[in-house]
Structure 1
Amino acid sequence: MAIIEIHLPKSVAKALRLPANNPERQQIRVLKKLLRKARFTEFGQYYRFDEILLCKNPAKKFKMNVPTFNYSSIYKQWWHKTLDGVPDVCWPGKIKYYALSSGTSEAASKYIPITNDLLAGNKMVMIKQLLTLRNYENIPYSSISKGWLTLGGSTDLQKNLGYYAGDLSGITTKKMPLWFQPFYKPGKKIAKERDWNKKLEEIVEKAPEWDIGFVVGVPAWIQMCMEMVIKKYNLNNIHEMWPNLAFFVHGGVSFEPYKKGFEKLLGKPITYIETYLASEGFIAYQDRQNAKGMRLVTNEHIFLEFVPFNDSNFDSNGDMVENPETFMVHEVEEGKEYALLISTNAGTWRYLIGDTIKFVDKSRCEIIITGRTKHFLSLVGEHLSVDNMNKAIQLTSEQLNICIPEFTVAGIPYNNFFAHHWYIACDEQIDPQLLKQHIDENLKILNDDYAVERKSALKEVFVDVLSEQQFLDFMQLKGKLGGQHKFPRVLKGNMLKDWEEYLHQQPAHSK
C-alpha cells in the first residue's frame, strides 16, 4: 500500500493542513507556543517569558530579553545541568536523549538535547514532506510503497546515567512509529550495528532481498553503498539490483560535487530531494519539482531568526558578536547571506546553529545552504564560501569528466602573502596542474572578491590529488566515519594540523 493512500486520523490530518501562507503570523504563533510551554522552566523564569507573552510584539521583546547563544555559552550556562539529571532547565521535564553532534568542527562531541516534543515536530514535518511527493512528476506512487533504505547512525545508543546519546538519525530510528517499520531498511538488527564498515557489508549482503524505492542519507555514504553493491554482484548499475529506485532524499552537505559520480551508478534518471534536518531540528525541505531551494518549516516547532553574515555581526574567525542584528522571516532579503538562529521545543533558545543560508525565493520561503559560519576562507578579503567551493568543484568535474567525491581546502601563508591549498579526492588519472587551473578559473567567475585578490595578496593555489580512501581513513582515525559525519570543506586550527600530520605518514601524493 502506498504511503499516499494511508488514511490518517482526523486529528493528524487537521494538523497537517498548512495555515494561511503568512510566514510572519506562523512564526509568531510558534514563538508563543514555545514560550508558553517553557515559561515555568529555569530559563523561562530567568528571562521572564510570561512578560514576553503579555507584549503586543512578543518577537521584539523576546530579542530584548533573551541573549543569543552558541553551543559553548548555552552549555556552560544551562545545558550542563540537564546532563546531571536536573529537570525543567530549558524545557519541561528531564532530557532523556542527546544527539552527539561534532559536525565538522574541531570540538569534542556536542550534546544537543532531544525531547519527545522535538521528535514529534520532526515527525510531523517528515509526514508533510512525504505528502509533497505528489508534486513531483517523475516519482511513481509505487516507489513509495517499496523499501526505504536509510543510512544513518547506530540505534545502539550510548547509555549514561539517566540519558542516552547518539546520532539523531539513530535516535529517530529507534523511536520510529510502527507504521514506518515494514518499509524501513536495513531493519532493526543492521541499524543497531555501530561498526560502520560492518554495517555496510551487512547491507550489501541483504541487498538482493530488498526492493528499494528510495534511499535516504548523506551523499558520500549512499554512493559508497551503491558502489559496493554494484561491485559485489558484478552489476552495470544499481538499477539492475533495485529497478524501482526512483528518488534520493539527501542532506547534510551539498549534492553538487557528488552528482556526476553518483549518476554513473544509475541505470536511469532519479529525482533528488534535498532536506535540512539538523541535530537541532527539521528546518527545511524541498517540496516540489525543480524548486530553487528548500522551503523553511515556519509553522511547526522552530522559531527562526536571521543574522546578516557580514563584518558587523561576525569577526574574522566566524564568531558572532554579542548583540547581532537579527531579522524575522518576513524581514529578510533575497540573495543576502544569513546565519541562522533557532529556538525549538528542545530548549534551544536563540541558538547559532552554525549554518549560513541564502533566500532564493522569499515569497515561498525557499533557501539554500551556503556554508558554515566557521567554514569559509577570507585570508585577505576573498570571502570564499562553501557554496562557491561546491560549485567550482561541480563545474570542474563536469569540464574534465571526472568524479570528485571529496575535497577540502586550507588557507596558508606563502612568501609573505597567502595561498589556498586544495586536497582533492579523485581515483582517476588527472593532472593536478590542470585541476588547479580549472578550479581557480571557476572561482574567479563565481566570486568577484576572489578574482580581485588573486591579483593581489592571494598569490598561489596548490592542489594535491589523493584517493577517496585517504579521506575515509582520516575520518575513521578521528572517529567520524559514517552516519551524519561529513568531511570539513575548510581546514583550520588543530584539524588542519592533524590532517597534515596524517598526510606526512602516507605515501607521497601528487602536487
Structure 2
Amino acid sequence: MATKMLFNTVVNWFIRQRIDQIQNFIKHPIETQKGVLFSQLYKAENTIYGKKYGFRDINNYQDFSRQVPIVSYEDFEPYIERARRGEKDVIWDGSIRMFAKSSGTTNAKSKFIPISQDSLENCHFKAGKDLVAIYANNHPDNTLFQYKNLRLGGSSELYEDFNTKFGDLSAILIENLPFWVEITTTPSKKTSLMSEWETKLKAIVEEVSKADVSSLTGVPSWMMVLLKKVLEETKMTTISELWPNLEVFFHGGISFVPYREQYKQIIGKSINYYEIYNASEGFFGIQDQSESDEMLLMLDYGIFYEFIPMDKFCSENHQAIPLEEVEVGKNYAMVITTNGGLWRYLIGDTVVFTNKEPYRIKISGRTKHYINVFGEELMINNVETALSKACEKTGAEITDYTGAPVFMSESQGGAHEWIIEFSQKPNEMSLFAQVFDDTLKQLNSDYEAKRYNNMTLNPPIIHCAKPNLFYDWMAHRGKLGGQNKVPRLSNDRSYIDPLLKMNG
C-alpha cells in the first residue's frame, strides 16, 4: 500500500508539470513548431543529409521548404540503409542503433524506420507519459495506478543486422521501457517478446486472465480477438465480470467506429475510450477530451509538421504548407520532419483539422488507401461514417471489411465492391446497402455526382464474409498480430480478389 501511495504521489506531481507544458504549446503553437524545426536543423547540420541540403544556411521556413525536398520512403531509403549499416552522421547526429520494421510500401517491401535515442525518449516515451497525464487530469478519481495496464503489441522479437537492431516498434519500446513500467503492465516482458502469434495469444490469455486490469492499450481489432479469447477461457459473460476495475481503453492504429458497439457489449459496462495517433515514424496525437473523438496535435515531441492539401496531392510538384496555414475541414496529407532523422517525409496518412484553437485533428485515411478510379475521392472517414449509420439502422455489427473498384467494361459500368465480415448480420441486407450508399452520397459530393442515375457508378456490391475470413486471410499473409492492419480501401483489386476467392 505504501508503495502504491508513493507511486501515486510521483505520478500526480508529474501530471501537474506536464499539463502546464501542454498548455504552453497550446497557447504558443507556431512558436513551438518553429523551435522544433530549428532545433532539428541545428542538431543535423553536420550530417551527410544536412550538408547536402545546406541546413546551416536555412534561416526561415521558406528556406527550408525551398532547399529540402519532400520525400517518400523510396526516395529516402538509400540514406536509411546507410544508417542501418552502421554509418554515423547520415540523417541524424551520431549513430542510429534501432529501426522499426514496418510493412507495406508500394514495392511490397518492408520499411525500416529510424528510431534515434532522441525520438525514443522525447517522442514515443514522452507520449506514453502524456497519455497517462491527460487521462488522469481529466479523471482525477481514477484508479489507473493501482492495477494493471494490459498492452497488446505486435510481434515483439528483435533482430540484429549490421550491428543495429530492427523489429516492430512495440519490440523496441518493450526492450527499452523503464523497470517501473514492467511492474504496472501485463502481460510480462517475457510473454510480450514471444514471436509466433497463435502461441503468444494463448500465453497472453493465460497470464492476463489472472491479473486485475484497469486499462487496455492496443489496436481495436486485435484487442477484440484477445478479449473474446479471454471470455472463452474464463467462461465469463462480460469482461467487467473478470476485471471490475477496468475503466479505460487507449486505442489506435485503426478507426474505432466499427467496433464501438461491440466493445460496449463485450465489456458489459460503461468505460472511457481514448484515441491515440502513433506510428513507427512518431507519436502525433492524443485525445485530450473524454467526450470527443478529436485528437490534440502534440507539438513538442521533436516533430515538425507540414501539410499538402489532398486536392493538390497528385500534382508532380508537391506544395506543402506549415501549421499556421491549414484550414478546418480540409483533407491534408501529412509531411513530418522528426528527431529520428526523417526530413520532410510523406508518412502516407491524411488528416482533417477540426479546430485551430487548439490544433485538433481526425485521421481521415491514407494517401494510398482510397478509391478514386472514377473521380469519387472516397476516403476512409466517409466509409466508416456510412457503415456506422447502416449498422445503426439495421442492427448490424462489423468485424472487418475492405472495398475496391469494379472497373468499367463494355458490358458493365463501374461500381464499388465490398466484402464485410459481420459479428451481427443486418436484419435487412438491402436496407443496409441502401443506407450505406445514401450516406456516402450525403458525405461526399464527388461520390454523389458519380452515382447520379448510375451514369458512372452503379450501386455498391456487398458480400457477406464467412466467419473469421479476415483473420484467416491475415494468417495466410503472415500478418497476424497487433501491429498489422486490414487494408480498408484500395484503388485496385489486389486485396479484395484473394478475399473473395477464399470466401468461396
Q: TM-score, normalised by structure 2?
A: 0.92
Deviation at residue 481 of structure 1 after TM alignment = 1.0
Deviation at residue 302 of structure 1 after TM alignment = 0.3
User: Do the aligned residues in 2 keep the contact of 1:406 with 1:468 (CA within 8 Å)?
Assistant: no
- Map residues 344-355 of structure 1 onto 2, 5 A cutoff: 344-355=338-349
Tell me how many residue pairs correspond in the alignment: 491
Matched, 1:388 2:385: no
Return the letter of the residue paired with 1:270.
Answer: I
Deviation at residue 272 of structure 1 after TM alignment = 0.6
Deviation at residue 15 of structure 1 after TM alignment = 10
Return the letter of the residue paired with 2:10.
Answer: I
Deviation at residue 245 of structure 1 after TM alignment = 0.7
Deviation at residue 492 of structure 1 after TM alignment = 4.2
- Map residues 3-42 of structure 1 onto 2, 5 A cutoff: 5-6=9-10, 13=17, 17-18=21-22, 19=24, 21-42=27-48
Q: How big is each residue's C-alpha offset from its partner over 1:166-188, in whole Å with a ceiling of 9 and x where there is no partner?
A: 11112111110122110011011
Return the letter of the residue paired with 1:35.
Answer: L
User: Do the aligned residues in 2 keep the contact of 1:105 with 1:488 (CA within 8 Å)?
Assistant: no
SS at structure 1 position matched to 2:277: strand
The equivalent of 2:282 in structure 1 is: 281
CA distance in structure 2 between the aligned counterparts of 1:97 and 1:115, rounded to whole angstroms: 7
The equivalent of 1:463 in structure 2 is: 462
The equivalent of 1:318 in structure 2 is: none
Return the letter of the residue paired with 1:6.
Answer: V
The equivalent of 2:320 in structure 1 is: 326
Return the letter of the residue paired with 2:422.
Answer: C
CA distance in structure 1 between the aligned counterparts of 2:215 and 2:159, rounded to whole angstroms: 29
Q: CA distance change for structure 1 residues 14 and 226 in 2, over 3 Å: closer, same or farther? A: closer
The equivalent of 2:483 in structure 1 is: 484
The equivalent of 2:51 in structure 1 is: 45
Pick aligned residue for 1:426 from 422, 426, 430? 422
SS at structure 2 position matched to 1:451: helix
Deviation at residue 205 of structure 1 after TM alignment = 1.3
CA distance in structure 1 between the aligned counterparts of 2:376 and 2:105, rounded to whole angstroms: 22
Pick aligned residue for 1:59 from 58, 61, 64? 61
CA distance in structure 2 between the aligned counterparts of 1:492 and 1:424, rounded to whole angstroms: 17
User: Do the aligned residues in 2 keep the contact of 1:360 with 1:366 (CA within 8 Å)?
Assistant: yes
CA distance in structure 2 between the aligned counterparts of 1:228 and 1:379, rounded to whole angstroms: 40
Q: CA distance change for structure 1 residues 497 and 303 in 2, over 3 Å: closer, same or farther? A: closer
CA distance in structure 2 between the aligned counterparts of 1:126 and 1:355, rounded to whole angstroms: 21
SS at structure 2 position matched to 1:417: coil
- Map residues 306-455 of structure 1 onto 2, 5 A cutoff: 306-310=307-311, 312-314=312-314, 321=316, 323-414=317-408, 415-430=411-426, 432-455=429-452
User: Do the aligned residues in 2 keep the contact of 1:104 with 1:486 (CA within 8 Å)?
Assistant: no
Query: What runs of 5+ residues in structure 2 fail to find an aligned partner?
Result: none
Q: How big is each residue's C-alpha offset from its partner over 1:91-131, in whole Å with a ceiling of 9 and x where there is no partner?
A: 12222111111258662211111111100112122212211
Deviation at residue 83 of structure 1 after TM alignment = 2.4
User: Do the aligned residues in 1 keep the contact of 2:155 with 2:481 (CA within 8 Å)?
Assistant: no
The equivalent of 2:183 in structure 1 is: 182
CA distance in structure 2 between the aligned counterparts of 1:191 and 1:418, rounded to whole angstroms: 46
Q: How big is each residue's C-alpha offset from its partner over 1:386-430, in whole Å with a ceiling of 9 and x where there is no partner?
A: 000111111122222121011100011144531100010114444
Deviation at residue 9 of structure 1 after TM alignment = 9.1
User: Do the aligned residues in 1 keep the contact of 2:305 with 2:335 (CA within 8 Å)?
Assistant: yes
Pick aligned residue for 2:130 from 121, 125, 128? 128
Q: CA distance change for structure 1 residues 468 and 442 in 2, over 3 Å: closer, same or farther? A: farther
User: Do the aligned residues in 2 keep the contact of 1:274 with 1:294 (CA within 8 Å)?
Assistant: yes
- Map residues 252-291 of structure 1 onto 2, 5 A cutoff: 252-291=253-292
CA distance in structure 2 between the aligned counterparts of 1:429 and 1:367, rounded to whole angstroms: 32
Return the letter of the residue paired with 1:187.
Answer: S
Return the letter of the residue paired with 1:477.
Answer: H
Deviates more, 1:356-365 or 1:162-171: 162-171
CA distance in structure 2 between the aligned counterparts of 1:89 and 1:212, rounded to whole angstroms: 44
Q: CA distance change for structure 1 residues 123 and 429 in 2, over 3 Å: closer, same or farther? A: closer
SS at structure 1 position matched to 2:75: helix
Query: What runs of 5+ residues in structure 1 fail to find an aligned partner?
Result: 316-320
Q: How big is each residue's C-alpha offset from its partner over 1:24-75, in whole Å with a ceiling of 9 and x where there is no partner?
A: 10000001111111111000111111111xx2xx221111110100000011
- Map residues 202-281 of structure 1 onto 2, 5 A cutoff: 202-281=203-282
CA distance in structure 2 between the aligned counterparts of 1:133 and 1:110, rounded to whole angstroms: 33
SS at structure 2 position matched to 1:227: helix
CA distance in structure 2 between the aligned counterparts of 1:412 and 1:342, rounded to whole angstroms: 34
Return the letter of the residue paired with 1:426.
Answer: F
Q: CA distance change for structure 1 residues 135 and 396 in 2, over 3 Å: closer, same or farther? A: farther
Return the letter of the residue paired with 1:258.
Answer: Y
Deviation at residue 264 of structure 1 after TM alignment = 1.2
Q: CA distance change for structure 1 residues 135 and 104 in 2, over 3 Å: closer, same or farther? A: farther
CA distance in structure 2 between the aligned counterparts of 1:254 and 1:262, rounded to whole angstroms: 13
CA distance in structure 2 between the aligned counterparts of 1:360 and 1:498, rounded to whole angstroms: 32
Return the letter of the residue paired with 2:62.
Answer: K
The equivalent of 1:70 in structure 2 is: 72
The equivalent of 2:88 in structure 1 is: 87
Q: TM-score, normalised by structure 1?
A: 0.91
User: Do the aligned residues in 2 keep the contact of 1:257 with 1:393 (CA within 8 Å)?
Assistant: yes
Deviates more, 1:260-269 or 1:64-73: 260-269
SS at structure 1 position matched to 2:88: coil
Q: How big is each residue's C-alpha offset from its partner over 1:315-335, in whole Å with a ceiling of 9 and x where there is no partner?
A: 5xxxxx3x3222211211101
User: Do the aligned residues in 2 keep the contact of 1:150 with 1:186 (CA within 8 Å)?
Assistant: yes
Return the letter of the residue paired with 1:354.
Answer: G
SS at structure 2 position matched to 1:113: strand
CA distance in structure 1 between the aligned counterparts of 2:293 and 2:321, rounded to whole angstroms: 22
Return the letter of the residue paired with 1:132.
Answer: I
CA distance in structure 2 between the aligned counterparts of 1:153 and 1:216, rounded to whole angstroms: 12
SS at structure 2 position matched to 1:284: strand
User: Do the aligned residues in 2 keep the contact of 1:427 with 1:467 (CA within 8 Å)?
Assistant: no
